[in-house]
Amino acid sequence: MSDDLIFDSPFILGMMRLNERPEFDDADRFGDWLESRVERGLHWFDHADSYGNHEGEKRFGEALARRPGLKSRVRVVTKGDIVLPSRDRSPFGVKHYDTSERYLTSVIDGSLSRLGVERLDHFLLHRPDPLMDAEATARALDDAIDAGKVGAVGISNFLPEQWRRLQATMHHRLGVHQLELSLAHPDALFDGFYDAILADGLAPMAWSPLGGGSVFEDVLGTALSRLAEQLNSTTAGLALAWLRRLPGSPVPVIGTLNERRIDNLLLSSNLEIDRPTWFALLEEARSHRVP
Mean pLDDT of 123-129: 98
pLDDT digits (tens, 9 = 90+) for 24-83: 999 999 999 999 999 999 999 999 999 999 999 999 999 999 999 999 999 999 999 999
The verdict on residue 110 lying in a domain is yes
Number of compact structural domains in the chain: 1
- Residue 216 predicted with pLDDT over 70: yes
Would you say residue 169 lies in a domain? yes
Q: Please state, for a pLDDT cut of 90, what percent of the chain lies above it.
A: 93
pLDDT digit string, tens, across residues 223-241: 999 999 999 999 999 999 9
- Please report whether residue 290 resides in a domain: no
pLDDT of the residue at 290: 78
| pLDDT score at 1 | 60
Mean of pLDDT over the chain? 95
Is 269 inside any structural domain? no
**Which pLDDT score is estimated for 5?**
67
In a domain, 23, yes or no: yes
- Residue 195's nearest CA partner among 258, 141, 118, 248 is 248
Domain boundaries, position 43: 3-180
* Res 116: pLDDT: 96
Evaluate whether residue 240 is within a structural domain: no
Output the pLDDT for position 139. Answer: 98
Is 185 a domain residue? no
Q: Which one of 51, 97, 103, 194 is the catalytic residue?
A: 51
CATH number for the domain that contains residue 129? 3.20.20.100
pLDDT of residue 6: 73
Residue 174 within any structural domain of the chain: yes
pLDDT at residue 3 greater than cutoff 80:
no
Choose between 286 and 137: higher pLDDT.
137
Helix/strand/coil (H/E/C) assignment for every residue in the chain: CCHHHCCCCCCEEECCCHHHCHHHHCHHHHHHHHHHHHHCCCCEEECCCCCCCCHHHHHHHHHHHHCHHHCCCCEEEEEECEECHHHCCCCCCCCEECCCHHHHHHHHHHHHHHHCCCCEEEEEECCCCCCCCHHHHHHHHHHHHHCCCEEEEEEECCCHHHHHHHHCCCCCCEEEEEEECECCECHHHCCCHHHHHHHCCCEEEEECCCHHHHHHCHHHHHHHHHHHHHCCCCHHHHHHHHHHCCCCCCEEEECCCCHHHHHHHHHCCCCCCCHHHHHHHHHHHHCCCCC
51 is catalytic: yes
